[in-house]
Amino acid sequence: IESSIPAPLRDKWKKFAATEFSNKEEFQREVVRHVETTLARSLYNCDELAAYSGAALAMRDKLIIDWNKTQQAHTLADQKRVYYLSLEFLMGRTLDNALLNRDIKDYAVEGVSELGFRMEDLIDQEHDAALGNGGLGRLAACFLDSLASLSYPAWGYGLRYRYGIFKQEIIDGYQVEVPDYWLDFNPWEFPRHDITVDIMFYGYVRRYTEDDGSTVNIWEGGEVVQALAYDVPIPGYGTSTTNNLRLWSSKPSTGEFDFQKFNSGDYESSVRDQQRAETISAVLYPNDNIDVGKELRLKQQYFWVAASLYDIVRRFKKSHRAWTEFPHQVAIQLNDTHPTLAIVELMRILVDKEHLDWDTAWNIVTETFGYTNHTVLPEALEKWSVPLFQNLLPRHLQIIYDINLFFLQSVERRFPKDRELLSRVSIIEESNPQVIRMAYLAIIGSKKVNGVAELHSDLIKTTIFKDFVKIFGLDKFTNVTNGVTPRRWLHQANPQLSALIKEKLGSYNFLKDLSLLSGLEKFADDKDFQKEWMDIKFRNKQRLAKYIKDTTGISVNPSALFDIQVKRIHEYKRQQMNIFGVISRYLSLKAMTKEERAKQVQRVSIFGGKAAPGYWMAKTIIRLITAVSEVVNNDVEIGDLLKVVFIEDYNVSKAEFLCPASDLSEHISTAGTEASGTSNMKFVLNGGLIIGTCDGANIEITREIGEERIFLFGNLAEDVEDLRHAHRYGKTPMDPALKEVCEEIQKGTFGEPGVFAGLIHALTEGGDYYLVSDDFASYLSTHKLVDEAFKDTAAWAHNTIVAVSRMGFFTSDRAINEYADEIWNIDPVKVDN
């Protein structure tokens, strides 16, 4: 209040309020102004980077004006807000997306062209904001787009990593990691030097008794680090709503940088202190679906959670409401267990600082949080060592013990004498050392727990969280199947297809209501339409072929079937099965006569994805792919029948040109392991078909588009356990085709076989945990069906059109509306133009 302008002076402010550009000339004026003043360049000195920067800064000004309006409207509406806490936001590039969401791309393209540039080239100057590993981070980014597009009052909270996910280079066939310093020029963020929070670590707990006899716990001492807010505007599509993503950056707290030390010549230790503080938000941990339990990671989690909660609580307190109203004003969604400490931190604030009694505080907390689980893989479930945790967050450990005690007491009352149950559901696992099971804490502290696709949500209820269903009942557990934003993943990634759909449906309304795609189905047999449809696919494949040629030197025929598997490299995602399948195909082709070969469908097998730096098996899989590509691509007998390509440094902007260019994409995880998958949705939405297992969202995609339009294969989730058991007891002979592949590798066809010994070992002595052998025969025979289907171009076109027309369900708008109605209880707020 104190910092706002007194009412009598406001007219003056309003008179000079910033206005947005709203046509080509005004846009151009802004671009030139930024190039000349913000960047201090001129028309004699403006390269593509400067032109991109000018355009981006012009666009940013526009977004900020809407951002301000939105925040004012939200404050005035005073409705419940949702806060989406995620350690990862895999945003990709912003300029193109912002132009499209604000529906000004057409005149912006013309505008920059008249200034001497091509918009594509400017867009290409932008660095991806790669603050995430894979699906979980990209889901958060799609959700932000939907929250803004649906005008929900929502904020994202995350960390402003100085280094995002590493850049991948392939050197001599191996992955090499290169740091991703992306902040050299980032026009999309605003430092908020006035918004800082001091965050404490380590220290001890002082306990004393008040005059009224109550005990008070005060967390004292330790290291203090400052959190500084950076705000990123998130423009919605077809609305002025521009939400906020607040990312925290760490720096030494004022006073922490010790000038005494500095002046007395102890530069090194004073600089060390500063670096220690800055280290917290320095790097994104590059692991996907694996927990490594490092102290710095826990520091990151607490730093981010404490700063975010401080901010949320400060905003709530401005309204002077009673604490019990907190859950009516605030919903907090935990994206996986990474922010689970927020449950504990809110308890600490309410009990230690605001002096609420435990039960009142606990009721508030358990009405506020929702927890989304993204995986059932045991190695991915977060657990923190108690000694490590106690040292870093002594008071939080006490609170966790208390939460656990009260919880176990309530379980004991309802299920007396079931000691086993108590030890199974305890937040503390009695291992050596003891560990804190973060997922259990998240369940106990949340109102709702959701999985991310139907099968996955069923699996968590019947396997890893079964006991909690018994304790809390079924109502606490729900499903929200993931979705993707059609703005980025159709309109932006595939402008030609989007324009063709618009032509048929009469408007771009499908981008706001994706169920309108159903209107395409009646054109599925229209020959002219099929031709336009397939021509667009062809042009997208040509663009990819050119990219492959330019970056790898490999020539691929754009008429061949493009078979793409791009995602993080993981044994459960089974890229190894894909490349074994490629080898098997190669061997069959080699064994054929010339005449037989002439009848085969030409194929390009495209792979892309990063391996976690410490994941040796995943790196070996990459090495096998590159080794196979070296052999196959240079085999003159094979020519265009088979090409194998590894695309370096797969990321969001590469996904944007890969998804539109697939005929077939692979989603072939061992059944029951891939929680949902979201690229499966993107590929089908862009007119590709899928080969996949009955896993994650593949199952719902099949239900929507029809089983005749998807190539499903392999064992079912319900059989996995028995199959694994059989392997352990040596009862499963290796599939003969797979055996042949292994022998070929061992013969040295793809280079020194010792390099690949780990992969073979995993299939044999390793017990084939991911059931490659069990699924291999049906994988290969299903690929044969794909070949047959691809030969019938008209049927293929028909099927891809029908599939797209039935993909409406997989928009992230639908997912967000489900969260809003069933978990958060929030309503949209209209923001005037």
- DSSP E strands in 294-364: the ranges are 330-335
Q: Give the nearest distance from C-beta 694 to ligand CJB in angstroms.
A: 14
Q: If 0-12 CB within 10 Å is exposed, 13-18 middle and 19+ buried, where does residue 458 land?
A: middle
User: What secondary structure does DSSP assign to 660-729, as a single string?
Assistant: GG-SEEEE-PPTT--S--SHHHHHHHTT-EEEEES-TTHHHHHHHH-GGGSEEES--HHHHHHHHHHHHT
Torsion angles phi and psi, residue 806, rounded to 5? -110, 15
459 is written with which tokens?
Answer: 């699996």
Q: Give the nearest distance from C-beta 193 to ligand CJB in angstroms.
A: 33
Task: Look up residue 327 and give its DSSP letter.
Answer: H
Q: Give the nearest distance from C-beta 286 to ligand CJB in angstroms.
A: 11
Can you say whether the dihedral through the CA atoms of 291, 296, 299, 300 is positive or negative? negative
353 is annotated as an active-site residue: no
Q: Are 85 and 335 in contact (CB under 8 A)?
A: yes
Whose structure tokens read 């059931």?
Answer: 771
702 is annotated as an active-site residue: no
Can you say whether the dihedral through the CA atoms of 340, 342, 348, 354 is positive or negative? negative
Q: What is the distance between the alpha carbons of residues 82 and 70, in angstroms, rounded to a whole number?
A: 15
682 is annotated as an active-site residue: yes
Q: Give the nearest distance from C-beta 765 to ligand CJB in angstroms.
A: 27
418 is written with which tokens?
Answer: 């079931």
24 is annotated as an active-site residue: no
Annotated catalytic residue within 102, 573, 574, 806? 573
Q: Give the nearest distance from C-beta 602 to ligand CJB in angstroms.
A: 31
β-bridge pairing 89-92 and 664-667: unpaired
Nearer to ligand CJB, 119 or 452 (CB): 452
User: Which residue's CB comes closest to ligand CJB?
Assistant: 135
Q: Give the nearest distance from C-beta 136 to ligand CJB in angstroms.
A: 3
Q: What is the distance between the alpha carbons of residues 713 and 774, in angstroms, rounded to a whole number?
A: 11
Nearer to ligand CJB, 242 or 812 (CB): 812
3-state SS track over 425-473: HCCEECCCCCEEEHHHHHHHHCCEEEECCHHHHHHHHHCCCHHHHHHHC
Annotated catalytic residue within 41, 682, 727, 783? 682
Annotated catalytic residue within 485, 670, 678, 800? 678
374 is annotated as an active-site residue: yes
Nearer to ligand CJB, 242 or 481 (CB): 481
Nearest Cα neighbor of 580 from 763, 751, 725 is: 763
Nearer to ligand CJB, 33 or 383 (CB): 383
Q: Are 140 and 132 in contact (CB under 8 A)?
A: yes
Q: Are 299 and 308 in contact (CB under 8 A)?
A: no
573 is annotated as an active-site residue: yes
Q: Give the nearest distance from C-beta 436 to ligand CJB in angstroms.
A: 18
Binding footprint of ligand CJB on the chain (CB under 6 A):
133-136, 139, 288-289, 374-375, 380, 452, 482, 674-678, 696
Q: Give the nearest distance from C-beta 515 to ligand CJB in angstroms.
A: 21
Nearer to ligand CJB, 136 or 344 (CB): 136
Nearer to ligand CJB, 80 or 374 (CB): 374
Q: Are 442 and 343 in contact (CB under 8 A)?
A: yes
Nearer to ligand CJB, 143 or 230 (CB): 143
Nearer to ligand CJB, 86 or 281 (CB): 86
Q: What is the distance between the alpha carbons of residues 801 and 687, in angstroms, rounded to a whole number?
A: 7
110 is written with which tokens?
Answer: 């013309």
Residues involved in catalysis: 374, 567-568, 573, 678, 682
